[in-house]
Amino acid sequence: VSMANSSCMKEFILLSLSENRGVQKIYFVVFLLFYTLTVAGNLLIVLTVTSSRHLNSPMYFFLCHLSFVDVCYSSVTAPKMISGFLVENNTISFAGCMGQLFGLHFFGCTEIFLLTAMAYDRYAAVCRPLHYPALMSRRLCGRMLGGSWAGGFLHSALQTLPTALLPFCGPSKVEHYFCDVRPLLRLACADTRAAGLAAVANSGVIALSCFLILLASYAVILVSLRGQTLAGWHKALSTCGSHIAVVILFFGPCTFVYIRPSGELSEDRSVAVFYTLVTPLLNPLIYTLRNGEVKGAMRKLCRRKV
């Protein structure tokens, strides 16, 4: 019955970040530029790391996969949002909506687990430098990467399948610029309190727990630096500072959206821009501008291509 009712809803209408047509045109230019730079910057990192023989440490291994995930993650929501600025009604099919929901949580959760793995890598590099090669073996890195992808898939399946099985019989206007669990639950013709609690327990707890783990790992790193020389402090902070910046920009808005009680979804639309579009853009900038090895490898790659 649920599947039959679900099929009654052929398409949904996604809202824009603004109802003002003039503002929408400005947003179109700005976010198209953001998305283009995001894809180009992250693909450049992937090409640089995969083509360089010197960037073979675990940090660059995870950075390469993080950049690939960022391209996929931003591509789930950004193209539809950007094209929506040019049309009267930004519609998406039921299947497309469920696909967007799955991709958002799949790549988003995979990124959360990758950032957590990178935090462990920085902990081992700073606090256990003599044991670092043994702690971060190639086999362990492969397992951590596989676990990140598997965890993201499981999380996304648990979010998408219950939502897809709900009966949707109207209205069809999603109070967001992409399909997510909370705005879709408001459109379902059924009692969704249990599904809402499950969504918070799933997305919210994962985001918050990984955020706390990351903060704890960096607190341990800072405590371990007591008694270090100024040069030692500078080296540790230079390797961890960029990661901390990415973590705060990604997890802060993400935790706000998924852990808080249900409220005005207009706030969620504004906050979601940070973790769906801004953070994937900042990743290549933060990791390359503060890293001499990556910049050197990029220059070599460009010269080789020229």
**Within a domain: residue 185?**
yes
Query: What is residue 150's predicted lDDT score, i.e. its pLDDT?
Result: 96
The tens digit of pLDDT for each residue in 55-85 reads 788 888 998 999 999 999 999 999 999 998 9
Distance CA 113, CA 127 (A): 21
Query: What is residue 112's predicted lDDT score, i.e. its pLDDT?
Result: 92
Using a pLDDT cut of 70, give the percent of the chain over it.
85
Torsion angle defined by CA atoms of residues 279, 203, 10 and 24, in that order, rounded to the nearest 10 degrees: -30
In which residue ranges of the chain is pLDDT below 50?
1-7
Query: What is residue 305's predicted lDDT score, i.e. its pLDDT?
Result: 61
Number of domains in the chain: 1
- Confirm if 55 and 301 have CB atoms less than 8 A apart: no
Give the CATH number for residue 84.
1.20.1070.10
Give the helix ranges, DSSP H, for 9-93: 21-51, 58-84
The tens digit of pLDDT for each residue in 114-164 reads 989 988 888 888 788 888 888 899 899 999 999 999 999 999 999 999 888
Angle (CA) 41 47 50, round 5°: 140
Query: What is residue 1's predicted lDDT score, i.e. its pLDDT?
Result: 39
Query: What is residue 114's predicted lDDT score, i.e. its pLDDT?
Result: 92
CA nearest neighbour of 67 among 262, 301, 283: 283
Q: Which domain holds residue 282?
A: 11-296
**Within a domain: residue 5?**
no
Residue type, 304: R
Query: What is residue 5's predicted lDDT score, i.e. its pLDDT?
Result: 44
**Within a domain: residue 3?**
no
By CB atoms closer than 10 A (0-12, 13-18, 19+), residue 53 is exposed
Distance CA 218, CA 277 (A): 25
**Average pLDDT along the chain:** 83
**Within a domain: residue 237?**
yes
What share of residues in the chain are helix, strand, coil (percent, to 5)?
A: 80, 5, 20
pTM of the predicted structure, to 2 decimals: 0.87
Query: What is residue 147's predicted lDDT score, i.e. its pLDDT?
Result: 96
**Within a domain: residue 305?**
no
- Those residues whose C-beta lies under 8 Å from the C-beta of residue 143, and which sit 6 or more positions away, are none
